[in-house]
């Protein structure tokens, strides 16, 4: 069974558009949050943060989606890495996950489901976390993901709301999973041609493994780049931090075959909705290639970390991060709030 042919949309490209989600949330009368809930959905941060003590916080998040690849075990790995990413994006470390699984019991064999879960378990093990349980329903469309719990010390908590003018913007993974997976679903590319993208999506955003305690104060703000693309998640960081971000398109790291699939117009609906989401707050220089513009809006699945860092330590941090994230690059800078929130230049 080709899992990608059983669904209309796959991966983080299946997310509800950011503007539509904001419109829905605006209609809900939320009561004042518990004072210990220090971070909720107000700034579209990556996870919620609950204060356990003066020294430690609890991180909670969840993420699930429809198949983005045909291999069941690979789908489980990507889904798990993507869900765990939200905990890392808050500066934390995951401790356990709960599975979220919906699948058509009549048409899909038990072996396929077992492979998906086994893939997720292998990634959780790599992260030092357990699969502690979950919930499964009979549904017409396959969906899988995790609810993840993590912990973070109060001096290592990182949000998307503290980017400072003068900071450099670092991206830890190459871009292009949206267009590549669209090419896979349409038959333009085969799974064996996309090993670079699969390796990237399975790579945990565990930046802790290559940084030391003395490096953390230089990490001012952070978010992981997923379904809303670099544009959408960058916009949320700019808005939360009350700054403007300038991105240099020529410095974008790209996955193999991305130029080809972009030129062949392998797009998802999310390419369009991500552009619409930031359109009023975005300036694009005329010299930026159309392919790089499309890449800016490309919906990432298990994408990299966008980090706003102290400019004096940016080069050192890039060198350290490249040991684990070989495509790490400085892709822009933070400025005082200007007319627009985002600037895409060459």
Residues catalogued as catalytic: 12
Cα torsion for 303, 89, 334, 209, to the nearest 10°?
-90
Q: What contacts 24+ positions apart, CB below 8 Å, involve 47-50?
A: 47/86, 47/87, 47/89, 47/90, 47/92, 47/150, 49/90, 49/152, 49/157, 49/159
Q: What is the rounded CA–CA span in Å between residue 100 and residue 191?
A: 25
Spatial separation of the C-alpha atoms in residues 256 and 15, rounded to whole Å: 24
Distances in Å between the Cα of 292 and the Cα atoms of 30, 91, 136, 147, 202 are: 39, 29, 40, 33, 24
- CA triple 1-63-113, angle to 5 deg: 30
Whose structure tokens read 């104060």?
A: 217
Could you tell me whether strands 305-309 and 219-224 are parallel, antiparallel, or unpaired per DSSP bridges? antiparallel
Q: Looking at the DSSP assignment, which residues form a beta bridge with residue 61?
A: 148
Longest dimension (CA), the chain: 58
Strands 48-51 and 56-65: antiparallel
Any idea what the Cα angle at residue 249 is, between residues 248 and 251, rounded to 5°? 75
Residue 24 backbone phi and psi in degrees, to 5: -65, -50
Q: How many residues in total does the chain contain? A: 346
């Amino acid at each position: 069974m080709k899992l990608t042919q059983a669904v209309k949309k796959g991966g983080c490209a299946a997310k509800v558009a950011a503007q539509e989600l904001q419109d829905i949330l605006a209609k809900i009368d939320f009561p004042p949050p518990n004072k210990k809930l220090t971070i909720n959905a107000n700034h579209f941060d990556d996870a919620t943060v609950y204060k356990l003590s003066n020294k430690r916080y609890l991180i909670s998040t969840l993420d699930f989606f429809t198949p983005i690849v045909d291999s069941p075990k690979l789908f489980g790995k990507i889904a798990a890495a993507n869900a765990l990413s939200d905990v890392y994006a808050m500066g934390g470390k995951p401790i356990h996950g709960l599975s979220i699984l919906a699948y058509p019991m009549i048409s899909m064999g038990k072996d396929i489901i077992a492979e998906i879960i086994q893939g997720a378990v292998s990634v959780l093990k790599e992260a030092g976390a357990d699969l502690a349980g979950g919930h499964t329903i009979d549904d017409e469309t396959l969906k899988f993901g995790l609810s993840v719990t993590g912990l973070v010390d109060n001096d290592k908590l990182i949000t998307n709301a503290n980017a400072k003018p003068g900071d450099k913007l670092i991206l830890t993974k190459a871009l292009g999973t949206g267009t590549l997976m669209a090419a896979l679903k349409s038959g333009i590319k085969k799974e064996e041609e996309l090993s670079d993208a699969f390796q990237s999506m399975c790579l945990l955003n565990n930046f802790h493994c290559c940084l030391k305690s003395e490096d953390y104060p230089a990490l001012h703000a952070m978010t992981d780049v997923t379904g809303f693309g670099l544009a959408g998640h960058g916009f949320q960081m700019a808005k939360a931090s009350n700054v403007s971000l300038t991105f240099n398109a020529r410095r974008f790291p790209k996955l193999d075959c991305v130029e080809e699939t972009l030129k062949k117009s392998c797009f998802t609906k999310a390419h369009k909705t991500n552009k619409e989401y930031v359109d009023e707050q975005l300036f694009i220089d005329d010299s930026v290639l159309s392919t790089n513009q499309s890449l800016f809006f490309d919906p990432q699945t298990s994408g990299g970390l966008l980090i706003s860092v102290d400019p004096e330590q940016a080069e050192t941090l890039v060198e350290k991060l490249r040991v684990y994230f070989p495509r790490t690059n400085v892709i822009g800078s933070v400025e005082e709030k200007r007319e627009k929130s985002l600037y895409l230049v060459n």
